Structure 1
Amino acid sequence: MKLFLLPLVISFVFCSCDQKSKIEKAIEEAPVEIKVERFDKQFFETSPNDLAKLKKQYPYFFNPQINDSVWLNKMNAPIWREVYTEVQKKYPTADGIQKNVEELVQHLKYYFPKTKTPKVITLISDMDCSNKAIYADSLVIISLELYLGKDHKFYTFPKYLKQNFEERQMMPDVVSSFSTGKIAPPVEKNLLSKMIYFGKQLYLKDILLPEYSDAEKMGYTPEQIVWCQENESYIWRYFIEKEMLFSDEQKLTSRFIDPAPFSKFYLEIDNDSPGQIGSWMGWQIVRSYMENNDVKIDELLKMDAKEIFEKSKYKPKK
C-alpha cells in the first residue's frame, strides 16, 4: 500500500513546487522600478543656509511647530554626526535596499493589484524601535540607524529587541507596517482574536517574502523557532486547559502577544520560551486554514478569527 501511494505523493510534491514556481516566475516578470531617496545623506550634508529648501522638498519630515534651531542642532550634534558616519559605513549605497524593495513590491502587486509603486526614503530618525519601517500608501520610510547590526555599539536596547536590528529585518518590518492597512484590528478582545490577527500578518510574510526563513518573519532566532516547534503541542494544550482562547483577560496580551524577552506561562519553561508565542501559534492556525480551504488572500484578511479557527482543522505537531 505504501509503495502504491509513493508515486502519488511524489507527484503531488512536484505539482505543488511547479505551481509555486509558476507564481514566482509571473511575479519576477512583472516590471517594477523603485527609487530610493537618501534623506539621511541630504539632511546631514545640507548647508544650514539650505535648510528651507530641504523642508520644502520633504515637508512630512519637518513639524512646522518645531523651530529650525532644533534641526540645525541635530545636523551638527557630535552624537548624531557619529550615527550618520556609522550609517554611511553600513549603507554606502542603497542598491541592496532598492533590490529588496523591488522584489517585495513585485509580490505586493501580484497579490494586491491595486498597490501603488511606492517611493522609498531612508532617514536617520530618533532610535524609535517601534517605527523602524513605515509603509504609508505610496511611501516607504526606513530608519537606517536601527539596522546597523544587533551588536552595534549604539544599541542599549534589550536583547530581544536588538536581535532584529539587522539589515535582513527591513523587509519583514515593511510588511508588518503594510499589513496594518490591510488587516482590520480584531473586534473581539479575546486572546484567539489577537492570535489570529498577528497570524494573518505573519501569513502575509509567507507569501510576500517567500525566501525569508520563519525566524526572520517572526523576528526570532533560529533556536527560538526550533523551541516553538518542539513545544507546539504543549503550548496548545496549556492554552486549552487554562481556557485562554476566548478569555478577554487583558494580561494575556502582555503574556503571549506583546514583544517581550519571554512568554509568561508562570512555569519553568518561561526562561526558554520566546516572547509573542501567541502570535506564533496564531500563525500556525492561519497556515492550517489556508492549507485546508480555497480562499484568496484578501478574503482571508477580512475573515473573523473564530471562523478561521473552526475551519482551520488545526492540530499541533507532536
Structure 2
Amino acid sequence: MNTNILLKFSIFFCLVFSCNTKSEVEKEIAKIPIEVNIERFERSFAALTPQSLPELKESYPFLFSEKYADSIWLNKVKDTIQIEVNEEVEKAFPDLSAEKDKLESFFQHLKFYFPEVQEPRVITVTSDVNYRNRVILSKGLLIISLDTYLGEDHHFYEGIQKYLKKNFKREQIIPDVASMYAKNLVGPIRDRTFLGNLISIGKELYLKDLFLPKYSKAQKMGYTDDEYTWVEVNEEEIWRYFVDRKLLYSTDSDLMPRFLYPAPFSKFYLEEIDKEAPDRVGQFIGWRIVTSYMKNNNVSLRQLLLADAETIFNTSKYKPER
C-alpha cells in the first residue's frame, strides 16, 4: 500500500512540475516583442486603377510578373470571376485581428526556440483558388491566399475532393503557416526509406506542437477530432502493420502516397481498416517516434534536426501503448 501511495505521489509531483515548467516557459515566450503587420494586397488589387497601378507594382514587384503588360492586370480586376472572389474574401475576412494575434503568438514561440529566424513581411492575396500553395514562405515573405480558406462547403471548391477541402477553413491558416516554417527548419528528406520519411515529417509535427501550444493535436495534423481519435486508438495496429510487412526500410515510393500524403484514406489494402482509417497515418507514427526520442534522450532541438532517422528510431524507445 505504501509503495502504491509513493508511486501515485511521484506521478502527481512529476505532472505538477511539468505543468509548472511549461507555464514558466510560456511566461518567457509571452515577453518576446513581436509586432505583425498584415498587408492586405487583395484589397488594394481589388481597388486597382490605371493611376494606382504603378505605385502598387512598386510596393509589390514580386506579385507582378514583368512578362505581362499593365492591361492584363487592369482587365483582371474587371473580370467577373475575380470580382466575385474579391467579394467572397471580403465577406469572410472583413477583419484579420484574430489572425494577427495568433501570428504574433506563433512568432513568439518560433523566436523562443529559434531566435535567429526573422519575422517575415506578411501579405494576404487571392490566388485563383490555388489550394496547393495556400501559404508561401520565401525570401522574407509570408504570403497567404485567403481565397483558399473560405470554408470547406464554399461553392468555389465544388469539384475538389472532400479530403482536400476539409482544411480549406479559417482555423487552418496558422497551422499551415507553422507547417511551412517547420518544413524549412527540418530541411529536405535525406533518408529515402519509409522510416526516413516518417521521421522527417515527425520532426515537423514535433516543432508544430511546440509552436502552437493552444491548438489541438488534431488541428496540427489537419485531422478532425474523430480522425485523430482513430489513429490514437489504433496506433499499435498501425505500427504492427508497418513492422510485420517490413516497410520501415523499404524505398518503395508507393508507400508515401499510401501512408504519408493527403488522400481519401490510408491504403492498408485491408477492407475492414481502409473503410475507417484516415489518410496520413504514417505522419502520426513519425510524430510519436520523434516525441518518444525527445522524451528519452537529453538532446536539444538543434540536435534533433541534425539527427538521422536511424539514430532517432534506435534510441527513441518507441513502443505503442496497448
Q: Indicate whether the TM-score tops 0.5.
A: yes
TM-superposed deviation, 1:137: 4.7
Match of 2:277 in 1: 273
Q: 2:241 aligns with which of 220, 235, 238?
A: 238
Match of 2:67 in 1: 65
Q: 1:43 aligns with which of 25, 39, 45?
A: 45
2:306 pairs with 1:299 = no
Q: Which amino acid aligns with 1:61?
A: L
> Structure 1 CA distance, aligned partners of 2:14 and 2:114?
28
Match of 2:114 in 1: 112
TM-superposed deviation, 1:73: 2.6
Q: Contact 2:49–2:74 at 8 Å: present in 1 too?
A: no
TM-superposed deviation, 1:18: 0.4
> Structure 1 CA distance, aligned partners of 2:28 and 2:193?
39
Q: Alignment identity in percent?
A: 44
2:170 pairs with 1:167 = yes
Structure 1, 61-70 or 21-30: larger mean CA deviation: 61-70
Q: 1:204 aligns with which of 207, 214, 223?
A: 207
Q: Contact 1:136–1:178 at 8 Å: present in 2 too?
A: no
Question: Residues 145-294 of structure 1 correspond to what in structure 2 (within 5 A)?
Answer: 145-156=147-158, 157-268=160-271, 269-294=273-298
> Structure 1 CA distance, aligned partners of 2:193 and 2:54?
49
Structure 1, 293-302 or 256-265: larger mean CA deviation: 293-302
> Structure 1 CA distance, aligned partners of 2:55 and 2:170?
31
> Structure 2 CA distance, aligned partners of 1:178 and 1:197?
14
Q: Which consecutive residues of structure 2, in runs of 5 or more, have no partner in the other structure? A: none
> Structure 2 CA distance, aligned partners of 1:215 and 1:8?
30
TM-superposed deviation, 1:229: 0.8
Segments of 4+ in structure 1 off by > 6 A?
none
TM-score by length of 1: 0.97
> Structure 2 CA distance, aligned partners of 1:69 and 1:304?
52
Q: Which amino acid aligns with 1:77?
A: D
Match of 1:311 in 2: 315
> Structure 2 CA distance, aligned partners of 1:56 and 1:62?
9
Q: Give deviations 1:248-288, integer Å, cap 9, x for gaps.
A: 11111111111111111111111211111111110111111
Q: Which amino acid aligns with 1:232?
A: E
Aligned residues: 318
> Structure 2 CA distance, aligned partners of 1:14 and 1:181?
34
Q: Give deviations 1:35-62, integer Å, cap 9, x for gaps.
A: 1100010001121332222111101111
> Structure 1 CA distance, aligned partners of 2:76 and 2:302?
43
Q: Match of 2:157, SS? A: coil
Structure 1, 100-109 or 132-141: larger mean CA deviation: 132-141
Q: Contact 1:196–1:282 at 8 Å: present in 2 too?
A: yes
> Structure 1 CA distance, aligned partners of 2:190 and 2:108?
31
2:87 pairs with 1:91 = no
Q: Give deviations 1:169-198, integer Å, cap 9, x for gaps.
A: 111111111123211222221100001111
Structure 1, 78-87 or 67-76: larger mean CA deviation: 67-76
> Structure 2 CA distance, aligned partners of 1:239 and 1:189?
16
TM-score by length of 2: 0.96
> Structure 2 CA distance, aligned partners of 1:257 and 1:37?
34
